[in-house]
């Protein structure tokens, strides 16, 4: 089963183009959705055009062809030679945009040329100060439809003289899609290989750490067990400190060493508390409510935490228990204050100059 392609256009003036595109699309083993082929199931008690909009949401892409006719009015709209109303084709386009479905737009080149005249005289035509009879375009609402399409910067519009122009463009686009898929597949394969290599490296490091840990324990226990525990404690403190340094981007407003110490102390204790009650993870949420909840708690008087690296909560999770220890917190605070890689007076001098 291939991708579903909805072909949208007026019917009577573009009937042969629709038939040609139907055969072309099916030649790629794609499925077309066209009302004249019986591809749209109409629901009892529902307007016929409403079923079309429903089927657009089930499509993978839409081909929109705009000719000189505007088409029948959508349900609830009143047809008029001058006043604006929505046609079925125009509502199909709107439905595709609302569903965020890729749309290929093709406008008859003669109609597009006349649209340029309409655009140049837009105010006079719309205010009925100028009456122009166009040869290719039979209803002024066609121009309004094109104008509404052009408002979308992410919709590519092409003109055509013959159906072969449409088919050539689509063939090139679909070939590009397939090439992108192959490149993405190669990239995913490379990423998987890197992931496997990193996983193997981590396992080897874990094994080495285990071996070093056991050897160190034997060597140290021959002298004093407390020496070994001291080494392990310092390693934990150093690891936590490095997570803070590499994960938090801080914009400081403190002016004194005491204010700096207050900020670092509050930061460490706030993170430790939020890790314990599992609210720190909210910083990475995609929900605005969660992010607002996080930043309502995570704010400081003398500095702004501008950014938190993704994955920080995962790194800190390994040290949740240790972070609840006041001794660990105090040592982490001291290590941060003595480290010259971040949150130094140099930052403060830069702010003062600004």
Q: What is the pLDDT of residue 345?
A: 44
Q: Is 200 helix (H, G, I), strand (E, B) or coil?
A: helix
Count of positions (residues) in the chain: 354
Structure tokens belonging to residue 18: 């629709």
Tell how far CA 332 is from the center of its chain.
Answer: 37
Q: What is the pLDDT of residue 157?
A: 93
Going by C-alpha positions, the residue among 16, 151, 41, 30 that lies closest to residue 90 is 151
Structure tokens belonging to residue 75: 């349900």
Give the chain's domains with CATH numbers.
Answer: 4-161 (3.40.50), 224-353 (no CATH)
- pLDDT by 10s per residue, the chain, length 354: 689 999 999 999 999 999 999 999 999 999 999 988 887 777 777 787 888 888 888 899 999 999 999 999 999 998 888 899 999 999 999 999 999 999 999 999 999 999 999 999 999 988 888 888 899 999 999 999 999 999 988 888 999 999 999 999 999 999 888 888 888 888 877 777 777 677 667 666 666 666 666 666 666 555 555 666 777 788 888 889 888 888 888 888 878 888 889 989 999 999 999 999 888 888 877 777 787 788 778 888 888 887 888 888 888 998 999 999 999 999 999 988 887 666 554 444 433 433
Q: What is the pLDDT of residue 61?
A: 93
Q: What is the pLDDT of residue 346?
A: 41
Q: What is the pLDDT of residue 351?
A: 36
Q: What is the pLDDT of residue 6?
A: 94
Is residue 22 within 8 A of residue 7, CB to CB? The reply is: yes
Residues 6+ apart with CB under 8 A from 11: 18, 36, 71
Cα–Cα distance, 145 to 136 (Å, whole number): 15
Cα–Cα distance, 234 to 93 (Å, whole number): 64
Q: What is the pLDDT of residue 350?
A: 38
Q: What is the pLDDT of residue 323?
A: 92
């Amino acid at each position: 089963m291939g991708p579903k392609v909805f072909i949208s256009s007026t019917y009577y003036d573009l009937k042969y183009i629709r038939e040609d595109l139907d055969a072309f699309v099916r030649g790629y083993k794609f499925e077309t959705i066209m009302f004249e082929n019986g591809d749209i199931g109409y629901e009892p008690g529902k307007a016929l055009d409403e079923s079309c909009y429903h089927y657009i949401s089930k499509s993978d892409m839409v081909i929109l062809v705009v000719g000189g006719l505007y088409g029948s009015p959508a349900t609830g709209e009143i047809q008029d030679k001058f006043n604006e109303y929505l046609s079925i084709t125009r509502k199909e386009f709107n439905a595709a945009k609302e569903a965020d479905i890729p749309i290929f737009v093709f406008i008859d080149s003669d109609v597009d040329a006349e649209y340029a005249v309409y655009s140049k005289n837009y105010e006079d035509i719309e205010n009925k100060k100028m009456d122009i009879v166009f040869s290719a375009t039979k209803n002024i609402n066609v121009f309004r439809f094109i104008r509404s399409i052009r408002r979308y910067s992410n919709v590519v519009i092409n003109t055509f003289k013959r159906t072969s122009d449409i088919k050539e463009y689509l063939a090139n686009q679909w070939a590009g899609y397939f090439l992108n898929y192959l490149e993405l597949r190669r990239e995913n394969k490379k990423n998987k290989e890197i992931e496997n290599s990193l996983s193997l490296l981590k396992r080897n490091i874990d094994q080495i750490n285990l071996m070093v840990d056991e050897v160190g324990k034997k060597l140290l226990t021959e002298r004093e067990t407390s020496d070994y525990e001291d080494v392990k404690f310092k390693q934990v403190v150093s690891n936590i400190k490095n997570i803070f340094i590499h994960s938090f981007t801080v914009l400081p407003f403190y002016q004194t060493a005491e204010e700096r110490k207050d900020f670092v102390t509050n930061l460490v204790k706030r993170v430790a508390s939020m890790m314990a009650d599992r609210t720190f993870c909210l910083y990475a949420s995609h929900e605005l409510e969660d992010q607002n909840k996080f930043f309502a708690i995570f704010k400081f008087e003398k500095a702004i935490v501008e950014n938190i690296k993704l994955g920080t909560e995962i790194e800190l999770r390994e040290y949740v228990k240790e972070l609840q220890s006041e001794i660990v917190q105090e040592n982490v605070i001291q290590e941060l204050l003595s480290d010259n890689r971040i949150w130094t007076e140099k930052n403060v001098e830069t702010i003062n100059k600004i």
